[in-house]
Amino acid sequence: MTRSKMPRSKMRSAAVFVASAAMAAGLLLSGCGAGQVTQTEGQNPPISGVNVDSEDGTVQLRNVSFQYNDPAGYETGDSVPLHLRIINRNEKAIRLVGVTSDAGPVVLAGRGVTPPAPTTPPTTAAPSASGSASGSPSASGSASASGSASTTPSASATPSGPPTNPTINIEIAAHDLVVLDPSLDRYLQISGLSEELKPGDTVQMTFRFDDGTSITTPVPIAVPMSPPARSPMEFDEGEHE
């Protein structure tokens, strides 16, 4: 079998053409990749909560959602922690001064929260001794004073869970962000849920600020970061036959 030989000049031209084609392909791919990064880098990550703004856009609530616990949701009387990010686009600081819901009272909770000081009942003044001397002394010669035994109040049971405070007063500096989340030192929660709350349900909540801004929005339970564990399927013996 004979083989034809290509002239050296043509071989060099072919090599140069292949190298140029490879370089052009590399530039094309890098250009496409750069365009893709530029297109996607400005996109917001998916969230499971609600994004809502005030009417003038100066106060923004982001990723507002209740913490997911399990597929059964929350029972009546439970505490329900809230995920919340507050953005202040005003030129001055504002304060979150009140939060209400149609499913129970909302309090500030977390290890960084100072509970309210306990209220002490007013003390009753002891009766003053009468000025007149009593009648005849007792047979023993010494007057025996019957003092009432003082009762020591029993120590109250330590409440379970983190400290809470019904007074909400949180400052958000101008052009700043405040995050209230169960993973941090402070967060909001519904204390004593008035009815069951299950995944798919929403609670109407209102957030009030000291500048007169008020934002009302339905709040859902957050979507779990990972799917719940699936129980093994059960089959009847007849299904295998």
| pLDDT on residue 90 | 97
Say which residues have a Cβ less than 8 Å from residue 74's Cβ, sequence separation at least 6.
66, 80, 193, 196, 197, 198
Domain-wise residue ranges, the chain:
50-115+162-220
213 and 58 Cβ atoms separated by less than 8 Å:
yes
Quickly count: other Cβ atoms within 10 Å of residue 99's Cβ. 21
Q: What are the tokens at 90?
A: 């005003």
User: Does domain 50-115+162-220 correspond to CATH entry 1.10.8.10?
Assistant: no
The per-residue pLDDT for range 91-100, each reduced to its tens digit, is 999 999 999 9
Residues in a beta bridge with 100: 206
Who contacts 143 (Cβ-Cβ below 8 Å, separation ≥6)?
134, 137
Q: How far apart are CA 72 and CA 191, in angstroms?
A: 18
Task: Look up the pTM and report it.
Answer: 0.62
Q: Which whole number is the average pLDDT over 62-89? A: 97
pLDDT at 33 over 70: no
Is the model's pLDDT at 151 over the cut of 50?
Answer: no
Q: Please choose, from the candidates 62, 78, 16, 53, the residue with its C-alpha nearest in 3D space to the C-alpha of residue 178.
A: 62
